[in-house]
């Protein structure tokens, strides 16, 4: 009888412990910016070079633009160096491209002073996407996939990192609307800021959302109410009216 009670108590303790671990892993924060307040103080510009790169707010959207002749990308980043294992999502539209390839993308785990970060990037008009790792200034494409992006069309982009302490590797995922592309990295960049990337183009961004276990709730934006049904197909048109 005592053994049964002890076993029942042990089972209860195990359930509580699992619940505590689950809660620690599952509950995080969400940082947002919908660009409705016209403020850019939460963001930092990288890769200006000759000063041709411009990031600004226009009608509730962020515009990244650079037509720098040497084809250097410009990066607009936010967050802290200890941010890790998070997802970054936003809406993006390639408005103009005068370089081949022009690019737009998302940046994760940026550690600029160390020359290290991940780039989840669409290349136009090459109909290709790259998941690239820059580590201590060394560049390696760790994933290449087919994808044809169109001008003046809104896409929902999501890039995420999920680290496994047991397997000692990171799972990197890039989602464009309903299409998902994944790779793994066995020598991961542990943490860093999040950002947006543009080269040879003008790109509009909106509704940035960063979610993760150590991401603070906040940011200058408010979470948008997503349309459903037929309204979802007309989101881009309504946004510009």
Specify the CATH number for the domain of residue 172: 2.60.120.560
Three-state DSSP at 25 gives helix
- Going by C-beta distance under 8 Å and a sequence separation of 6 or more, which residues neighbour residue 5? none
Q: How many structural domains compose the chain?
A: 1
Q: Are 161 and 85 in contact (CB under 8 A)?
A: yes
**Domain presence at residue 36:** yes
User: Burial level of 219, CB count in 10 A (0-12/13-18/19+)?
Assistant: buried
pLDDT band at 65 (very low <50, low <70, confident <90, very high): very high
Which domain, by its residues, includes 60? 27-224
Give the other-Cβ count within 10 Å of 192's Cβ.
25
Contact 161, 215 (CB under 8 A): no
Residue at 239 is within a domain: no
Is 22 within a domain? no
> Which tokens hold the place of 64?
């990244």
231 within some domain:
no
10 located within any domain: no
∠ CA 51-104-116, rounded to 5°: 75
Report if residue 3 sits inside a domain: no
DSSP state of 129: E
Name the DSSP letter for residue 187. Answer: S
pLDDT-based confidence at 14, cuts 50/70/90? Answer: very low
Over residues 19-61, the pLDDT tens digits come to: 333 343 445 899 999 999 888 999 999 876 666 789 999 999 9
Report if residue 144 sits inside a domain.
Answer: yes
The pTM assigned to this predicted structure is: 0.79
The C-alpha atoms of residue 68 and residue 99 are separated, in whole angstroms, by: 9
């Amino acid at each position: 009888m005592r053994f049964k009670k002890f076993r029942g108590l042990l089972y209860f303790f195990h359930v509580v412990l699992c619940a505590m671990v689950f809660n620690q892993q599952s509950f995080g924060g969400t940082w947002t910016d919908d660009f409705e307040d016209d403020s850019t103080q939460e963001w930092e510009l990288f890769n200006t070079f000759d000063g041709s790169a411009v990031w600004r707010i226009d009608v509730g959207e962020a515009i990244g633009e650079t037509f720098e002749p040497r084809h250097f990308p410009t990066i607009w980043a936010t967050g802290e160096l200890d941010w890790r294992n998070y997802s970054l999502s936003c809406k993006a539209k390639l408005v103009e491209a005068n370089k081949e390839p022009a690019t737009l993308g998302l940046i994760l785990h940026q550690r600029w002073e160390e020359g290290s970060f991940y780039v989840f990037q669409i290349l136009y008009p090459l109909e290709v996407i790259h998941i690239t790792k820059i580590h201590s200034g060394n560049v390696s494409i760790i994933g290449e996939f087919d994808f044809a992006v169109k001008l003046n069309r809104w896409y929902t982009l999501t890039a995420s990192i999920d680290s496994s302490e047991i397997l000692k590797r990171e799972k990197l995922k890039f989602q464009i609307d309903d299409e998902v592309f994944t790779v793994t990295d066995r020598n991961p960049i542990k943490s860093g800021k999040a950002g947006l990337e543009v080269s040879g183009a003008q790109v509009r961004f909106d509704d940035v959302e960063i979610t993760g276990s150590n991401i603070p709730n906040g940011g200058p934006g408010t979470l948008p109410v997503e349309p459903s049904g037929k309204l979802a197909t007309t989101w881009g048109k309504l946004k510009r009216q």
